[in-house]
A and B are shown apart, each in its own frame.
Chain A
């Protein structure tokens, strides 16, 4: 089959815009070039995109290159621990160099601050354009942004520049965090901060 190349070695993922349909084979879709299939999978929910890995070996690794990671909890993942394991397992496997969307939505307590830090760092290392964290308040103490990330001396892998939309709900941010983001995200068009327990004042010019 056309896509054997992506089964065992992720590094062999290649785009091939000139791939030709092999007529006589009913399976037209599997013969589409990788980049088209990845576009297609990016339109599905993350759960559905991951499910396609079981279709055939052609599809095994395609979902790992989607440019949208929307961790909407499905029924079976309502529990915090399970959801956190799911996110961690996905970001360990995901390969896309650029992320258009990274969305986390779950009631999450501060117990998982280290995981949240890892996710935010992952998103910025993948040049995220839209980052949404909605950790719907579940305790008196919210998660916060990783302070070590919000300094001028962060590793070169972290890239704030492409960020266009940042939505933080039930995530504690300080005035310094906001100032840092405003001065380091030149393309930022939309900033939503909701239910932050630490942000008392904001002065922007």
Chain B
């Protein structure tokens, strides 16, 4: 362990598309999944992360490095998270929330979920469908029935405009 030897320990992570990444153990253990592997002595070789692709893992590692370099200051950490997520598109956010779930990183998970919710706020059903690429598999009759079921909720809501 780094604390015992005085030299930083580096871990090697492997994405599901076989990309290899080196990351300081002190940053990687922000992931409870990785921390458990380290504590169980299973992190000596390459750590395979079967549910995360290389592009997403690179991004998560950038986050791990960035957030672990900030001292215990919740305000600064929050502002780093906001900045880190500010330029991410929906596909990336959806991939990141899944990766954060798999890696058991609650702080990243909460931040990404809040970001997605923030973007969905006050948007029409049509806008959300287009932005997330959600295929509407309802028949027109089924869709009308869902709206009728929640008619109070849908009053004043446009389903296919851009706002």
A: residues with CB less than 8 A from B are 1, 17-18, 20-21, 23, 25-33, 36, 39-41, 43-45, 47-48, 50-60, 74-77, 82, 85-86, 89
Contact = CB atoms under 8 A, between A and B. Distances in A.
Contact of B153 (A23, A30, A36, A51): A51
Say what secondary structure dominates the interface of chain B. helix
B90 A48 contact: no
Contacts of B138: 54, 56-57
Nearest to B104: A17
A45 B117 CA distance: 10
Contacts of A25: 133
Contacts of A33: 98, 101
Contacts of A30: 132, 134
A55 B126 CA distance: 8
A1 B132 CA distance: 15
A51 B117 CA distance: 13
B140 to A, nearest CB: 12
Contact of B98 (A32, A52, A55): A32
Nearest to A33: B101
A29 B90 contact: yes
Given A27-B133, A28-B91, A36 B152 contact: no
Contacts of B156: 74-76
Contacts of A45: 121
B134 A27 contact: yes
Given A28-B90, A53-B150, A40 B134 contact: no
A27 B97 contact: no
B55 to A, nearest CB: 11
Interface string B72-103: 00000000000000000011001101100110
A104 to B, nearest CB: 15
Nearest to B95: A28
Given A27-B132, A28-B94, A36 B113 contact: yes
Contact of A52 (B113, B122, B128, B149): B128
Contacts of A21: 94-95, 98
B157 interface: yes
Contact of A55 (B121, B136, B153): B136
Question: Which has the most chain B C-beta neighbours within 10 Å: A56, A60, A74?
Answer: A56
B101 A55 contact: no
A36 B95 CA distance: 12
B51 A56 contact: no
A32 B95 CA distance: 9
B106 to A, nearest CB: 11
A53 B91 contact: no
Contact of B97 (A20, A36, A41): A36
